[in-house]
Structure 1
Amino acid sequence: MSEENLNELEIISPSLAASVITKKELFNTFSLKDEKEKGTDPVVARIKQLIIQRVDTSPKKDSKEDRMKYLNAAQNLLESFIPVRTLSNVIELYHDINKHLQAENRMMRTLINESMNSIKIFMF
């Protein structure tokens, strides 16, 4: 499903959009059989399966914005799995995700510090 399709569905029926934006629907393309046919190491295929199992079954909040975030996260995860066939690929993916999380944390700290500085200026 694309963002555009989800937006159209949200206009027609938010409840239908909610029923489509679920783990069951978005991850239904993943299968251990397909991974085996692609030549994925069995341990790596199982790691992918376990990661998918850890994904929440649906967005935490029943809102258009959260459904869009959930859709994007699911698509990003599945896309990141495409080249992962070996344990070394898993390690590379782990490092890539870790790098993105660290950058996001730095950005959040910067925003918080800037907000706090703005509050200090306003208070004095």
Structure 2
Amino acid sequence: MIHLMVVDDEISIGAMLEKALGRSGDIKVTYIDNPITALSRFRSGEYDGVLLDIMMPQKDGLSVLEEIKSKDPECVVIMMTAYSTLDKVLQSHKIGADHYLLKPFDSLANVEKKVRELIHPRR
């Protein structure tokens, strides 16, 4: 089973991802709408991957990415944003992001496919 954390301040997007990705039963999704709370709950080895929004009012996703990677370099992090700039893409990859998804998503099936492609259970 893949254990995935979804961090997005937009509750509608987080709830949609939680429902869609958890539907199959082999992806356990923990959705958190606040990046500060997400960091306080993140433990090395507990999550196989994180879907992380870049633009959040409480804390920038790039700094959250940096903290996640410092705690658990093996954790796969997929960045999400509706406001793509080349600078943000380059920064996220430099920090250690494994992939980048643009919102709105072209399809939830493609999001799930990318999650399964990049994230494998460590247990």
Greater strand content: 2
- For Structure 1 versus Structure 2, the TM-score category normalised by the shorter chain is under 0.3
Q: TM-score, normalised by structure 1?
A: 0.26
Q: TM-score, normalised by structure 2?
A: 0.26
Point out the structure with max Rg over C-alpha.
Answer: 1
